[in-house]
Structure 1
Amino acid sequence: MITERNVPSGSATPSTWRGRLAAFGLLLGSVMATDAIAQTPPPPTWSTADMPSQKGRIFLVTGGTSGMGFEDAKALASSGARVVIAARNPQRGREAIDRIKQDVPDAQVQFEAVDLADLSSVRDLGKRLGATLPRLDGLINNAAIMAPPERGTSVDGLEMQFATNYAGHFVLTAELLPLLRKSDAPRVVTLSSIAIHRGSINLDDLQSTGAYVPMATYAQSKLACLMFAFELQRRSEAGGWGIQSMAAHPGVAVTELVARGPGLDSEQGRQWSSNRAHLQTAAMGAISTLYAATAPTAQGGVYYGPTGPNEIAGPLGVATVPAVARDAATAARLWDLTEEITGTRFPTRGR
């Protein structure tokens, strides 16, 4: 992980490094202090070398053709897991599998096409996997888009960031719940972002129809993801589903997210480009997710991420949670609204 101790020789001094990262963090939203939650922190130096064998376990990773999702899939395959990469582009899927097999010749990895912004595509994936997999031990809700300059809508009429980042994963989790419950220790890891600290949940306008501010809409979608992860844990406990649900964020990692979203010529893109030497690699960004998905000591209902300045990079730890994300009443209302919007129903709490 990136720390002040391992800044490359000849690069910025630690104080300059902190300043640059803090400046970049202001674009995404500085981490705000919240009350600490009684949780067991992970080992700060935890890495893929500490990952227990995943032989015999089955994982699905959305957006696994690039970035952190690819690193998740590669690490899980390296540890013996069977991995399903779910993404939109079959060509990129084949390329991702080839890249993984170059390093892990005996990798058990397959590609399944899904468009998270198309709920019929999500449901089709659920049906296919329900008919072909004996169970699902881990679901990593990773895929995302960030801050496209213009507001777009999905085929279901939902704002694209809400649809891709949050609603598609909500429906996918519901579709895969029967497979998850067949596992002896199922986990669902949902990706959030440090951008949540400048976000809010507008239950009266989840689709940003009144005003579309690209980063604010992104922040809302990722805050919804975090609230979903916590509410899924509460409902799993209440309903006896046996699922551990946790959340993770990567800090700020060098991936395709900025280039495909606001663009490298945007303010975010220029800051990202000028500071990328001091940011997380995709492999570093994947550590929090992999810990949540595989470590015996990972806990349901916990949010993991790097713990350096503004949580942009640094050692693994428990991430800061904004107060709204701990508001169970708001999370329950968001859940109910999402069921109405998507036409998807999870089991009731009592079943």
Structure 2
Amino acid sequence: MKGFTAAHVPDQTGKTMVVTGANTGLGFETAKALAGKGARVLLGCRSQLKAQVAKDRILASYPEADVVIVELDLGSLVSIQKAAQQINQEPRLDVLINNAGIMVPPLAYTQDGFESQFGINHLGPFALTSLLLDKIRATANARIVSTASIAHRRGKINFDDINANKSYSAWARYAQSKMANVYFGYELQRRLNAIGGDTLSVVAHPGIADTELPRYIPKPFMLMMPVLKLFFNSAEQGAWPTLCAATMEGVKGGEYYGPSQRGEIAGPAIKVKSNRRGHDLVVAKKLWDVSIEMTGVDPKL
């Protein structure tokens, strides 16, 4: 196989999966594909109205689909706790896909006082994963998928100003949050290996996909979008690496999947490599400890 697409997703009947940010873009396409293959899919969304629209769209394509809405705001630890309580009522949890995120917004802070990109893109998924970990580990061959980005290549964790109290560059903070996703995905697998079991932590990135995510990109770039989009993945294609990481047979923990063409911008999914910093054990452990301290949620791994 030259690359993985939605057509390669195996039958998922009997499995339960959570997709965060499932009301639009990559999350919606991921949830739709999994529901179409028989999975029970929980849509983790901040807006109940948008989540209902997404659910209706999935049911329009797959009338027999099993789709559930979970209210989830990754910018609120209280919301994350409530969502985790609902999800933990499920008999099983085969796959958690941490897809939701924001990209290069103006400086803002979450309800808990975290710089918004670091809070929503990393700390929120860290807390949610931690709260669901017992349920995930109790399900045979379960997987946790972290969604990174090409932007991680320039990312560094600014521990001295983690909340952007001193300075803020939207792009640097986005890259930091995506670098954190890579560190977390790898460190999680190392810690899972240490305690044994068959749970996998896998990282994926969509390349550059045509979604609502870049709504804050400067106007000159937006004017060029009609031309640039010709070289991008569609949202449906951008979901391929995530679907690959979540469902392909033979995937191993600690692997990284992305598009196969044009420098990982587009195309079917294959195994790719993150930057070398992503394998820095010292930084990964420090980020893990800082994440526990900031969220007050300990995965106990």
Range of TM-score over shorter length: over 0.9
Q: Which amino acid aligns with 1:179?
A: K
Deviating more after overlay: 205-214 vs 333-342: 205-214
**1:229-308 correspondence to structure 2 within 5 Å:** 229-259=185-215, 262-263=216-217, 265-308=218-261
1:14 — aligned with what?
A: none
1:51 — aligned with what?
A: 9
Go from structure 1 to structure 2 and tell me whether the alpha carbon gap of 1:187 and 1:129 turns closer, same or farther (over 3 Å shift). Answer: same
> Secondary structure at the residue paired with 2:34?
helix
CA displacement, residues 129-179 of structure 1 (integer Å, 9 cap, x when unaligned)? 22x20120000000010001x210111110000111110000000010111
1:169 — aligned with what?
A: 125
Deviating more after overlay: 283-292 vs 198-207: 198-207
**1:40-189 correspondence to structure 2 within 5 Å:** 43-130=1-88, 132-148=89-105, 150-189=106-145
> Secondary structure at the residue paired with 2:245?
helix
Q: Does 1:321 align with 2:278?
A: no
**1:207-226 correspondence to structure 2 within 5 Å:** 207-226=163-182
Deviating more after overlay: 184-193 vs 319-328: 319-328
Give the whole-Å Cα distance in 1 for the aligned partners of 2:22 and 2:290: 28
Paired residues of 2:95 and 2:142 also in contact (CA < 8 A): yes
1:235 positional shift: 0.5
> Secondary structure at the residue paired with 1:314?
strand
1:308 positional shift: 2.0
Give the whole-Å Cα distance in 2 for the aligned partners of 1:269 and 1:328: 38
Q: Which protein has the bigger strand share?
A: 2
1:199 positional shift: 1.6
Task: Name the % identity.
Answer: 40
Give the whole-Å Cα distance in 2 for the aligned partners of 1:272 and 1:342: 37
Give the whole-Å Cα distance in 1 for the aligned partners of 2:263 and 2:168: 26
* TM-score, scaled to structure 1: 0.83
Q: Which amino acid aligns with 2:15?
A: R
* TM-score, scaled to structure 2: 0.97
1:19 — aligned with what?
A: none
Paired residues of 2:241 and 2:268 also in contact (CA < 8 A): no
Unpaired segments of 5 or more residues in structure 2? none
Aligned length: 301
Give the whole-Å Cα distance in 2 for the aligned partners of 1:139 and 1:56: 15
1:334 — aligned with what?
A: 287
Deviating more after overlay: 205-214 vs 337-346: 205-214
RMSD, aligned α-carbons: 1.3
Paired residues of 1:167 and 1:338 also in contact (CA < 8 A): yes
> Secondary structure at the residue paired with 1:247?
strand
Give the whole-Å Cα distance in 2 for the aligned partners of 1:214 and 1:266: 15
Give the whole-Å Cα distance in 1 for the aligned partners of 2:244 and 2:294: 32
> Secondary structure at the residue paired with 1:83?
strand
Deviating more after overlay: 193-202 vs 248-257: 193-202
Paired residues of 1:51 and 1:294 also in contact (CA < 8 A): yes
Give the whole-Å Cα distance in 1 for the aligned partners of 2:161 and 2:276: 20
1:196 positional shift: 1.1
> Secondary structure at the residue paired with 2:41?
strand
Paired residues of 1:258 and 1:268 also in contact (CA < 8 A): no
Give the whole-Å Cα distance in 2 for the aligned partners of 1:314 and 1:346: 35
Give the whole-Å Cα distance in 2 for the aligned partners of 1:143 and 1:55: 24
